[in-house]
Amino acid sequence: MDIGKVQLAPIVTEMEKSYLDYAMSVIVARALPDVRDGLKPVHRRILYAMHQMGLNHTSSFTKSAKVVGEVLGKYHPHGDMAVYDALVRMAQTFSLRYPNR
């Protein structure tokens, strides 16, 4: 590929190629769980934020809004609904494929 040179291409062809490349990068980077731990990036960010906040099974009750605010403020600036949804689904044993028993 010649960097710095303009190449003429039909708009339809270029848009199809660009959209497909972007869609595949999103699927691979965000939508599919990682094979190492089964977590998506948003789940990993939530767990890391909770760890940094000192939240574990022995700590006192903490509102979910505090956790979501911490995640949004430091690690996941994409919108609160994605974080809330991921946090709730992690707490529901029936919504994950292999729940804790």
Q: Which residues make Cβ contacts (< 8 Å) with residue 40, sequence separation at least 6?
A: 30, 31, 32, 33, 34, 86
Evaluate whether residue 26 is within a structural domain. yes
Evaluate whether residue 4 is within a structural domain. no
Structural domains in the chain (count): 1
Evaluate whether residue 71 is within a structural domain. yes
CB 83 within 8 A of CB 72: yes
Evaluate whether residue 100 is within a structural domain. no
Name the one residue in this structure whose structure tokens are 């509102």. 63
Q: pLDDT tens digit string along 29-67?
A: 788 888 888 888 889 999 999 999 999 999 999 999 999
Evaluate whether residue 5 is within a structural domain. no
Q: pLDDT tens digit string along 57-92?
A: 999 999 999 999 999 999 877 788 989 999 998 888
Evaluate whether residue 46 is within a structural domain. yes
Whole-angstrom distance, CA of residue 5 vs CA of residue 60: 60
Evaluate whether residue 87 is within a structural domain. yes
Name the one residue in this structure whose structure tokens are 């949004």. 72
Q: What phi and psi values does residue 38 have, to the nearest 5 degrees?
A: 80, 10
Range of the domain at 91: 11-95
Evaluate whether residue 90 is within a structural domain. yes
